[in-house]
Chains A and B, each alone.
Chain A
């Protein structure tokens, strides 16, 4: 604390007043600058929506919404153009569903292990390992999928394509385990100890306490973590681009080559799509679809969290 503050005079002499006025002006400027920085974050959202909307509207001036939603082919970069989002959306769905099949049970059981079973030292080792898993760049997961998982899959199912949805699903699943596990664990640990002790006192086993008391009590947080994890899987780009391929293929067979919405955006921006053409606008239309899907899921996860939260003291 600077000494002159404590010595600040109480007398209403003019020097002190001008000092105070000066100080309050400086204070106000600082307040405004800080506010502008915080408000900039709103500007980012406005920017994203405006940028996506402008070109998407241009896109829908030429392609009808009905065609976009119902056409089963996506070939905007070919001579014969089709603009059906379905193959890309189903591709994203296929990868996200496969990832959820892995990450939801593994993530939840990991969270239960960390919160109910593991002692302090074991947690101290396991938590940082999960953080490392979460911090590995997605391009590395792509490499792992292509050079390790895919050959493994092909040795079991020889009909598997070199690029396939299953390989991408597996690595994206591994990738979102830490998201599901750490958010679920936070929710489980927030359940008060008295609830567990009450159940133990009635003779319940650890398994019964975990599955019938702790998880139900933390259900809103657990479900929110699932939704957030799946939303991340839908938005995942590099691993999917590398492992799943670039073939907009309307299929539910995970062993086939597909293309997700994110992979299409990368593919279209790598090629030279001239500014202002319909091909260029597809990038924004797909981006908008992706943005809306993940936004709905994120809002849903926040809603579940606040609507179904159990309040404990």
Chain B
């Protein structure tokens, strides 16, 4: 780095004043810029609450979608989202954590490991719609899983795989080395060290990362449109993972794309339900994180 080009004490009082004014203006600009994000969040939430809160009733949660706005609800979409959430967690969690354990505890430092690591970083940057194309081609068509909950959950699992892997790696890396060395010193095998020492300590961090990744999956719309979740469904999944399905974001999109004002209000109410679901998930993650901090 070249030495900083800071004016060194030279110049008269006029110059000092200019520097002070510039400093104050810059501080104001930084504060204002920070407020842009905060204000945008407040306006967005205010807009949705103003539009949707009067539609948010018990009937809205308990009813199916309908052509008649006054009768429509989110039952099928909410249950669909919970199905997708559960199934995605079951698929993505073990695979991601296993991959993270391999990369942190087992992998030799060679080209292949570097390639896997680079690949994971790049996968995290692939647009979600591209995962939708993958899901449509591989799960819906090639594996003939049709437009089912399973196809959707598999697609979203692949989408959040890199996110959970990277969060888990960070959590595993944070476990102090002395613990591993003590266990090895007592004659423990690698897997015993990992399963009995490292994982229990890293678990709160891993779970926090997993929940945040899952809340991203719950908010995803585009890949599920590709995989063929339907926008209008008047029954709840009963037959299990091969049923057709819809999810909250898709139901909201369906309502937004109709021109009538009433459906926009329904969309806003749906958004409130979705945000409450996400808030619950994030609150769980925050509680886990603070408990984790207290233990160390």
Contacts and interface: CB of A to CB of B under 8 A. Distances in A.
Interface in A37-68: 37-42, 44-45, 47-48, 51-52, 55
B116 interface: yes
Interface majority SS (helix, strand, loop, mixed), chain B: helix
A69 interface: no
Given A27-B191, A105-B33, A262-B222, A136 B27 contact: no
A16 interface: no
B183 A109 contact: no
B274 A5 contact: no
A195 B48 CA distance: 46
**Which one of A51, A206, A234 has the highest number of Cβ atoms from chain B below 10 Å of its Cβ?**
A51
A52 to B, nearest CB: 7
B37 A106 contact: yes
Given A143-B267, A242-B257, A138 B219 contact: yes
Given A23-B189, A34-B98, A51-B138, A109 B126 contact: no
Contact of B129 (A23, A262, A299): A262
A109 B103 contact: no
Interface string A14-33: 00000000011011001101
A38 B278 contact: no
B37 A110 contact: yes
Given A41-B116, A44-B158, A45-B119, A148 B128 contact: no
Contact of A35 (B32, B102, B134): B102
B222 A238 contact: yes
B95 interface: yes
A73 to B, nearest CB: 23
A147 B44 CA distance: 10
A141 B41 CA distance: 10
A126 interface: yes
Contacts of A23: 189
Contacts of B190: 27, 31
Interface string A265-298: 1100110000100000001100100110011011
A260 B170 CA distance: 36
Interface stretch (B5-13, B60-68, B236-244): B5-13
Contacts of B134: 44, 47-48, 51
A138 B187 CA distance: 51
A295 B125 CA distance: 7
B253 A275 contact: no
A1 interface: yes
Given A47-B138, A266-B129, A41 B119 contact: yes
Contact of A139 (B19, B36, B249): B249
Contacts of A38: 98-99, 102-103, 107, 116
Interface in A196-225: 198-199, 202-213, 216-217
Contacts, number: 288
Nearest to A295: B122
A222 to B, nearest CB: 14
B264 A147 contact: yes
Interface in B168-220: 183, 186-192, 196, 212, 215-216, 218-220
Given A129-B37, A146-B256, A113 B191 contact: no
Nearest to B116: A38
B34 to A, nearest CB: 5
A235 to B, nearest CB: 3
B268 interface: yes
Interface string A167-179: 0000000100110
Contacts of A262: 127, 129, 222
Contact of A1 (B27, B30, B188, B274): B188
Nearest to A219: B1
B19 A133 contact: no
Given A110-B30, A142-B256, A203-B9, A299 B122 contact: yes
A44 B271 contact: no
Given A126-B34, A143-B48, A143-B267, 8 more contacts: A1-B186, A44-B123, A51-B133, A132-B41, A142-B256, A146-B256, A242-B256, A291-B126
26 contacts: A1-B188, A5-B186, A30-B191, A31-B190, A39-B116, A40-B99, A41-B119, A42-B119, A105-B33, A110-B30, A113-B30, A140-B274, A143-B48, A144-B47, A195-B4, A202-B4, A208-B23, A210-B26, A213-B4, A216-B4, A228-B125, A265-B129, A275-B141, A291-B127, A291-B130, A299-B122
Interface of A: 1-2, 5-6, 8, 23-24, 26-27, 30-31, 33-35, 37-42, 44-45, 47-48, 51-52, 55, 105-106, 108-110, 112-114, 116-118, 126, 129-130, 132-133, 135-144, 146-148, 174, 177-178, 181, 195, 198-199, 202-213, 216-217, 228, 231-232, 234-238, 241-242, 262, 265-266, 269-270, 275, 283-284, 287, 290-291, 294-295, 297-299, 302, 310
